[in-house]
Homo-oligomer: A and B are copies of this chain.
Amino acid sequence: PFPVSTRHYSSARAADIRNGDFSALKVQQGRLMDTLHQTCSFGTGKRWGSGPTETGMSRLALSDADKQARDWFVETTEALGCKVTVDAMGNIFAVRPGRRGGPATFAGSHLDTQPSGGRYDGILGIQAGIEMLNVLRDHQVETEYPIGVVNWTNEEGARFPMSMSSSGVWAEDIPLEQAHNLQEVGGGTATMRSELERIGYLGSTPASYRSMPMAAHFELHIEQGPILETEQQKVGVVKGVQAYKWFTVDVNGRDAHTGTTPLKSRADAMLLAARLITHSHRLATAHGALASTGILTLSPGSTNTIPGHVRFTLDVRAPADATVEAMEADLKRDFAALAAGDDIDGLLAHSTPGKPLSVDFRTDFVSPATVFHPDCIAAVRASAEAVTGSAGLVRDMTSGAGHDSVYASRRCPTSMIFVPSKNGVSHNPEEYTSSEDCAIGAEVLLQSVLRYDRLRAA
């Protein structure tokens, strides 16, 4: 395995690499970061500081900016010797041949961002995959099996409201039709399918693990939380992902005049929505869960009309599936009670009860708690300890966020690598991870993939 050219190495060094000492295969931090920041010109977002890279990203899935990033990805991976396949969800698989055939071991993540996101979420994982290809070429490393980099479509679920929608289709956990028909948030009429067609990324390969099998999936990602920074550690070995569900709640009242409708005659959908959102926070506290409303629209939307309809999203998370289920049951029960006029939040003791309203509760997306594969976890831990030189700088973690690795793990051995997020901030233009930490993460990714490749051969 790993025949390394003698132009680069003494035979002793080549033997080290063959024996699993990858220390000669160094990620080039400058190249990695230059490339990352250059490609952030595709969909530059809000400025938050005065420095040239102190802007966030706004690269919604399947937007024009996403197309630019995709075109760049295809061109770059082809130039690095990969064969590129685009599937029916626009997932892009770039595969570099190995000594033998068979499914590739993949590094994967996503190039789409939140509407007001940062430069690292998803992007770092892809750029580290590209850097991996660069390092393998620099050192003329031939792997046992093919090595791939995959860019998954609409991981964020920000534009089309199912996170990880396209790895979900690949895993055959989300029906293709359902994903294709997802409509963009914010009232537009575009669907995933129409946008895939528009930007030229509706591929002909079926979106399925059967058509594009993977030997394993490794994903480098920023932590998006505060733990590594707080604990002054460098690398998280991600053993699993917490459970979450996304809901849409419709509150149906009655449009009425703000000036002529007494409080007691109102069916004020905005007032009830406000109570429901407040109550969801109370329930989350009681359950040790999270509840968040990120989208809310009301109609008709006029200063002097009491809204007859409000629609909002609820994102509910907890480490255990049972907690999310219990939250859901409580939310449904209590929302119906509040709509009917029961004073379970104690508000009506201090204010005027209005007329009953109705509440509809729809489940949009379910991501059960996920446990990653021990072989991949072991490869990440060994690589993290090798790269940082210290087990004390490495910790096991559970991810609070969902990732394409969740769906990948249903169909192949999978694990993830986390690097520190400044102040734990993510889904925010100010999201930041130092160049040093990005490079450490990229090197852990490279080694994890190579370790797994060796493991397969053994």
Contacts and interface: CB of A to CB of B under 8 A. Distances in A.
Contact of A285 (B163, B292, B307, B350): B350
A257 B300 contact: no
A304 interface: yes
Contacts of A273: 274
SS of A interface (majority): loop
A315 B315 CA distance: 30
A254 interface: yes
B302 A290 contact: no
A211 B244 CA distance: 65
A255 B301 contact: no
Given A274-B274, A296-B296, A304-B294, A259 B244 contact: yes
> How many chain copies does the complex carry?
2
A277 B310 CA distance: 14
Interface string A312-323: 010101000000
Contacts of A292: 258, 268, 270, 304, 306
B263 A157 contact: no
Interface in A391-420: 399-402
B290 A263 contact: yes
Contacts of A156: 302, 304
A38 interface: no
A1 to B, nearest CB: 38
Contacts of A281: 263, 268, 271, 347, 351-352
A292 B425 CA distance: 34
Question: Counting chain B CB atoms within 10 Å of each CB, which of A275, A298, A428 scores highest?
Answer: A428
B277 A271 contact: yes
Given A114-B300, A156-B304, A350 B163 contact: no
B426 A257 contact: yes
Interface stretch (A80-88, A144-152, A172-180, A223-231): A223-231
A306 B117 CA distance: 12
Interface string A274-297: 110110011011100010111110
B260 A400 contact: yes
Nearest to A354: B281
B114 A285 contact: no
Report, as a range, how many residues of chain A touch the other chain: 35 or more
B285 A259 contact: no
Contact of A350 (B282, B301, B315, B428): B282
A281 B115 CA distance: 33
Interface string A229-265: 0000000000000101010000000111111111101
Nearest to A268: B292
A356 interface: no
Contacts of A293: 270-271, 274, 307
A308 interface: yes
Contacts of A163: 303-304
A158 B114 contact: no
Contact of A426 (B157, B260, B275, B425): B260
Contact of A298 (B244, B256, B295, B299): B295
A161 interface: yes
A427 B258 CA distance: 9
A315 B259 contact: yes
The 9 closest A-B pairs by CB, nearest first: A116-B300, A260-B400, A258-B292, A225-B260, A274-B274, A158-B302, A274-B277, A255-B428, A224-B260
